[in-house]
Structure 1
Amino acid sequence: MSTDTQAIKDWLKQHQISEVEVLVPDMTGNARGKFIPAHQFLELGEPKLPESIMVQSVTGEYSDEHWDLVEPTDTDMILKPDPNTMRLVPWAREPTAQIIHDCYKQDGEPHPLSSRNVLKRVLELYEAEGLKPVVAPEVEFFLVDRNTNPDHVLIPPKGRSGRRETSRLSYSIDAVAEFEDFVEDMYDYAEAQNLAVDTLIHENGAAQMEINFLHGDAMDLADQVFIFKRTIRETAHKHGIYATFMAKPMQNECGSALHIHQSIVQADTGKNIFAEADGTHTPAFLSYIAGLQRYTPELIAFYAPNVNSYRRLAPDIAAPINLCWGLDNRTTAFRVPESSTAATRVENRFPGADTNPYLAMAATLASGYLGMKGKLTPTEPHQGTANEDEVEIARSLEEGLRSLDNSPEVREVFDPLFLKAFTAVKRDEFEEFNRVISSWEREHLLLQV
């Protein structure tokens, strides 16, 4: 028995687990998999899933290019558990474990359609250079009333006062206290799953919250965000409300982001390569930022992967619209917070809360890596409000997809089959959405054009 298998067996026994959730993050960043009785989990061999689930759209449909992306026989993927991801499922009625699995082809090679493998591929580039990324995500979400009719607009839920929020209550302690029971259960669930959640704040939107994670390993934090989004939804269900990570769920409210703070350290010493001893920024740091500026237009679809995502990336709603960077400037896309030398970092403010965390991490780290390798030079740090400058990014999913693999550097970092699959699936989603006639069109165009 391998060391990993023994560790899993001992953990399941220690926690008296009766059922195991075999989890695989799909292209959207949601959980696919199987439920397996614990006594069978290690006895039945490696679980399997059809590879076609990795190329389903958010509506559950398949692209017209489906059979160009997977084997015509719809071959099974081999799933291997990562013992570092073993967690309890605190909302389950019986003792239940959840374990994230990696996907492999039949020949033992990592499966290229797995978003977790996409991030692994980028992290291996850093490992080959003796470097290690350190990241800290910030995840925003809205609490909303239960909504079973998609034709109805979303509204904030009632808090303990019996009222709904209508004011802008950024950082309000009392506004968070309106949902005290939800918050307490959320923290209990997070602790039970060893999620490194740090601070909770009330964001600018009505019943909009933000959770900050402690900094750490990029793969571990991507796993934690993946689990955290499940956790928040489950906590909300317990309290009879919904939690949504849509990038722009309500017309008159701001959007929700998944900001990623990132720095790079030497793997052997832990020294931050972004700052000199006196705190000045290193050439590597400036090239990293230049990489973010250079490659974000091509990788924007990884940060904004849904048709709704681009409603957030608009002027005047506190989201980036261009490629500026700045020192402690929240209006820029790439913000360098005031910090100590060891904590010198850049915050990528492009990713929406609706992104697949593995792909967002991969995109931002790949951009910085390519910037450092190419010794690129950034613009001067932006002074003043960047939101008053020109829009420099795609304004629709279709436009973002057309830019996805424009450069040979991107095609070298990201597997060509994955790029093809992602583009095919997301383009189909865009075309399906584009067939829907909106109420705005009926209101303003029906009798006036």
Structure 2
Amino acid sequence: MQRLATWLKENRVTEVECVVSDLTGIVRGKISPTDKFLYERGMHLPESVLLQTVTGDWVDDDIYYSLLDPADIDMVCHPDPDAVFLLPWTAEPTAQVIHDTYNREGKPIELSPRNVLKKVLALYQEKGWKPIVAPEMEFYLTKRSDDPDVPLQPPIGRSGRPETGRQSFSIEAANEFDPLFEDMYDWCEYQGLEIDTLIHEEGTAQMEINFLHGDPLALADHVQVFKRTMREAAMKHGVLATFMAKPISNEPGSAMHLHQSIIDEQTGLNIFSNEDGSMSELFRHHVGGMQRYLPELLLLLAPNVNSFRRFLPDTSAPVNVAWGHANRTCGLRIPESDSQNQRLENRLAGADANSYLAIAASLLCGYIGMVEKIEPSEPCSGRAYDLEDYELPVTIESAVEQLEESAAARKYLGDAFIDGYAAVKRAEHENFKRVISSWEREFLLLSV
């Protein structure tokens, strides 16, 4: 705490945003004057915030009271001094401090997404393995809109005109929003977010930011902070940034591609490579585990009903657990690289996924594969989009069922987390089903 106190004083921080991530990825917490924050050495929050839905509602009472104390007690939140970020858009010097959550006995709260990722990383540590990840975040820029019934429209760029077609990898199309991205890069540097390449993706005003590879927990923190940073930068420039998986009809969805590899902590070498640079047996088993268990844990990578719109046919998203070398039509791609950078790219996660849970699920599947020595299928050398068997849940209902029935998920992530997460997603879907869509009004109103 002393190191954090010194840092806050050196940066003349007057306010501290004390935050945790709920299951949906929404940041919740308190804003505190710095002096009060240092005096209290953390914060207390109702543990029930971890069972809120994306709409702010609550899960069914039976689940709620089976997982939480009926007295609606507080959890104890301790700041992580390695997860502190200055906020460049605030009027006064303000820091965001990510907290870890514990119960009154000092045990980590099982419903906390950050604790879920820590639990998975502990499995690797026991084996002497250090996972390395590098997320790629896709998102759309759109015009501002205050009517959720009106489809989103492309924003106006520097030229005064909106994009009218897809401009994959176009430098000029990305340059249309140079002032916005200059602020975004400056703000990320100010916060210590290690982002790398910016590209224009396939969709109209769809962009992608790549992160430098690094520690999974730190990168999960950085993705969470980056989403907010990107939205703030967009609003400053009069547009919106959205990480919805499928925000616009007839446009590609937005993914969070996860590159992952593993370093032997004793030798510092990549365990995915043999001495001659070929795939190691551990790498094959890692791929096998991904193929075997990703269908059961897909809900952690595709958490919303909108997530599954990205998996519709002809949407350029891989709806399979096929794997292949440099094959972007596969859900599991092996990029070309040298032996020390041998890695797997998981292309299934949506940009809307909670970064802690998506990284935890992806690493867990590979870990189980290595422990259970699961052999993968033969690599796919052709077009995996044309595979007849999707091999994955294609609705959120089936994804919830597969997660609830997964013995592996319960063994490694705990019954409390699986039951709580599934309950949140069921509550959100029930809420969604109550909304009458514009499609129903358009085609059924006067026709049936």
- Structure 2 distance, partners of 1:447, 1:92, is 51
Distance of 1:281 and 1:370 partners within structure 2: 18
Give me the whole-angstrom Cα distance separating, in 1, the residues matched to 2:14 and 2:438: 49
Paired with 1:122 and 1:266, the residues of 2 have a C-alpha distance of: 16
Counterpart Cα distance in 2 of 1:296 and 1:331? 17
Q: Secondary structure at the residue paired with 2:225?
A: helix
Distance in 2 between residues matched to 1:432 and 1:46, nearest whole Å: 34
User: Structure 1: which 5+ residue stretches go unaligned?
Assistant: none
Does residue 1:46 correspond to 2:42, yes or no?
yes
CA offset at residue 328 of structure 1? 0.2
Aligned match of 2:17: 21
1:21 partner letter: E
**Percent of aligned pairs with the same residue?**
53
Q: Give the TM-score normalised by structure 2.
A: 0.98
Moved more, 153-162 or 59-68: 59-68
Are residue 97 (structure 1) and residue 98 (structure 2) matched? no
Number of residue pairs aligned between Structure 1 and Structure 2: 445
Q: How much has 1:437 moved relative to structure 2?
A: 2.1
Matching residue of 1:378: 376
Q: Is the 8 A contact 1:314 1:320 kept in 2?
A: no
CA contact (8 A) 2:149 2:438 kept: no
Aligned residue in 2 for 1:411 = 410
Residues 142-175 of structure 1, C-alpha deviations (whole Å, 9 max, x = no match): 0011111111110111001111111110111000
1:131 aligns with one of 112, 116, 129: 129
- 2:173 maps to what in 1? 175
- List, as ranges, runs of 4+ consecutive aligned residues in structure 1 with deviation greater than 6 Å: none
Alignment match, 1:34? 30
Distance in 2 of aligned mates of 1:220 and 1:306: 24
State how far apart, in whole Å, the 2-side matches of 1:409 and 1:297 are: 12
2:331 aligned residue: 333
Instruction: Please give the per-residue CA displacement for 1:67-126, whole angstroms capped at 9, x wherever unaligned.
Output: 222110111010101000111111111111111000000100001110000000000000
5 Å-filtered alignment, 1:30-429, equals 30-64=26-60, 65-390=63-388, 391-429=390-428
Structure 1 contact 50–75 (Cα < 8 Å) conserved? yes
* In structure 1, distance between residues paired with 2:48 and 2:406: 28
Shift of 1:266: 0.6
AA paired with 1:22? C
State how far apart, in whole Å, the 1-side matches of 2:283 and 2:345 are.
12
Counterpart Cα distance in 1 of 2:446 and 2:88: 55
Shift of 1:303: 0.5
CA distance in 2, matches of 1:81, 1:269: 32
| Residue equivalent to 2:434 | 435
Shift of residue 281, structure 1, vs aligned partner: 0.5
Displacement after TM superposition at 1:384 (Å): 1.0
Q: Distance in 1 between matches of 2:329 and 2:383?
A: 6
Structure 2, unmatched stretches of 5+, are none
In the TM superposition, residue 59 of structure 1 has moved relative to its aligned partner by 0.5
Aligned AA (1:299): L
- What CA distance in whole angstroms lies between the structure 2 residues aligned with 1:86 and 1:37? 15
* CA distance in structure 2 between the aligned counterparts of 1:96 and 1:447, rounded to whole angstroms: 55
Q: CA deviation at 1:242?
A: 0.8
In 1: Cα distance, 2:382 partner to 2:145 partner: 40
- Structure 2: how far apart are the matches of 1:446 and 1:331? 39
